[in-house]
Amino acid sequence: MAQLDLVVGDLEGNVAAVLASLRSAEDAGCDLCLFPELAVTGYPPEDLLLKPRFLTDNHRAVEEIAAATGRCVAVVGFVERGADRPGDERWDGGGTRPPARLANAAAVCAGGSIVGVYRKRILPNYGVFDEKRWFDPGSGPHVLYEVAGAAVGVSICEDVWYTDGPVVELGRGGADLVVNINASPFAQGRREERLTMLRRRVGEAGCPVAYCNLVGGQDELVFDGSSVLVGADGSLLGAARQFEEELLLVDLELEMRSRTLAVVPVTGAAPHRSPLPSPRIGPPLSPHAEIYEALVLGTRDYLVKNGFGDVVIGLSGGIDSSLVATIAVDAVGPEKVHALSLPSRYSSEGSVADAKELADRLGIGLSVVPIEPAHRALAGLLAPMLEGEPAGLTDENLQSRVRGLLLMAVSNSIGRSIVLTTGNKSEIATGYFTLYGDAVGGFAAIKDIAKTEVYELCRYRNARPGPGPLDPIPAAVLEKPPSAELRPDQRDDQSLPAYEVLDPVLEAYVERDRTGPEMVADGVDPAVVDAVVRLVDGAEYKRRQLAPGVRITAKAFGKDRRVPITNRYRATDAPDPR
């Protein structure tokens, strides 16, 4: 199983990565090598599929891979372009849908040619998935491919998640092994959820299942790899690392089963060779470790794949910016991280000192630039229009926007750099941020991390052995009460419920779609529920203007949650007893 980090649209680079892994598999004497879902195009290609030339180039790419195959059979994902849809000659809607029937497909390649194509049958259309926008589902009778004497069934991603779905049909039709190529994004607990599902599916299909997954970051998504081979008895016969590229080699002894499905001969009996050593089974990461690695990989791939060489971060001396700076250093190295401390008249000496200590521990450069001169100048410009200098929230936001302007100016001066925003999910959910101020930037590394989890991740990172700076986040940062420091003695809990109270309510409302009355029925304080619901609903227009960020929950702000900005629905009745 070739667990690869591929790039959407980089057909040439993706082909090179596939061929390099295929050569390694051939050299190791493999009979079969699996590659991720849509490995040729990268996943998800989205509206690149509306470009006819892209589809043509994708076909040429998979043919190049097929031409390079020898005895080792390659199963590689690509987009199959079929015939025009019936009646499409009457379509007058412009370029708003694919120009032909498209399939999310797997090419079975051997001996220099494509010997068969499997088309994904179950197309996900929920959460971050929109496959029905571009693809038609596969149909017709299943076939098996005879590889080194074994009958192999081919399936793609969602096909394995359904009881009595394609994987089970292939197993019941006589498959000795079913392979499943994937682009399954990471979310908390996803690895264990997959393993539970695969063991259930193996029991129904009666044969082993090989699950090969994509790895790497793509915009908001992070793919964790975690490719596995589950034996017919549910045992784990091989497991790849999480969040790393790997060519996982596994020997599999198969029992030949009676076959009722048609079989396509591909390669003859396997030659004699020495068995591999005991299978590699990578130990799973802890919950905090896998979240942290997802943040690092998602940040690194966003920067590298989009050509950003350096990052700029505003260090406030607070917990959020400290975590983002640490992630950035672990992602791209301290030499590429540029930090600014931008104290105002309300910033404490301790916060500036904490920012300096963090920068020293991380080994990054820090420029201290007080914003008081700019703050006073802008307040003076505004005074005639406001009949006096700005006060209250206007003045607080003015300070934040001065900082945003300076961060962007420094980023512009460096060239091919990007500002990392430092807002967490709790603040983003409630609108507790300033548009064009602390929200400014091109990527939001902790956008999907609740405030309470920010603290947990900081403690995890401080205690983590291994590469990177040791114990980078000062104890003072973890101990002081969170504050934006935009007015005297300001604390977050003056504007929001305490984060220990707020975060569970946000999780229920945002991620589990519980309504206000349902949360009250669950025992949550009605005043807290009312305040939180109003804050979340009122901030939708602000969230639409934010930078993309790493998705680590099952429902993040972005592609997952699509609530109308203009929306007057408020649940006021008692909860539905159903």
Do the Cβ atoms of 394 and 429 come closer than 8 Å? Answer: no
37 is catalytic: yes
| DSSP per-residue codes, 255-323 | ------SEEEE-S-SPPP-PPPSSPPBPPPPPHHHHHHHHHHHHHHHHHHHTT--EEEEE--SSHHHHH
Q: Cα–Cα distance between 208 and 525 in angstroms, integer? A: 50
246 is catalytic: no
What are the E-state strand segments in 111-261? 113-119, 143-147, 150-156, 177-182, 209-213, 215-218, 221-224, 228-230, 236-239, 246-247
Q: Cα–Cα distance between 236 and 279 in angstroms, integer? A: 9
120 is catalytic: yes
The SS3 call for residue 392 is helix
Do the Cβ atoms of 358 and 322 come closer than 8 Å? Answer: yes
* Interacting residues of 378 by C-beta distance below 8 A, sequence separation 6+: 398, 402
Query: Which residues share a beta bridge with 549?
Result: 444
Please classify residue 255 by burial: count the beta carbons closer than 10 Å to its beta carbon, then call 0-12 exposed, 13-18 middle and 19+ buried.
Answer: exposed
Query: Which residues share a beta bridge with 152?
Result: 145, 177
Do the Cβ atoms of 169 and 135 come closer than 8 Å? Answer: no
Task: Give the β-pairing of 228-230 and 236-239.
Answer: antiparallel
Closest listed residue to residue 152, CA positions, set 181, 195, 122:
181
Catalytic residue among 37, 131, 246, 453: 37
Catalytic residue among 120, 425, 451, 559: 120
Do the Cβ atoms of 316 and 485 come closer than 8 Å? Answer: yes
Catalytic residue among 33, 72, 109, 157: 157
Q: Cα–Cα distance between 260 and 47 in angstroms, integer? A: 39
Phi and psi, residue 318, nearest 5° = -95, 175
Q: Which residues belong to the active site?
A: 37, 120, 157
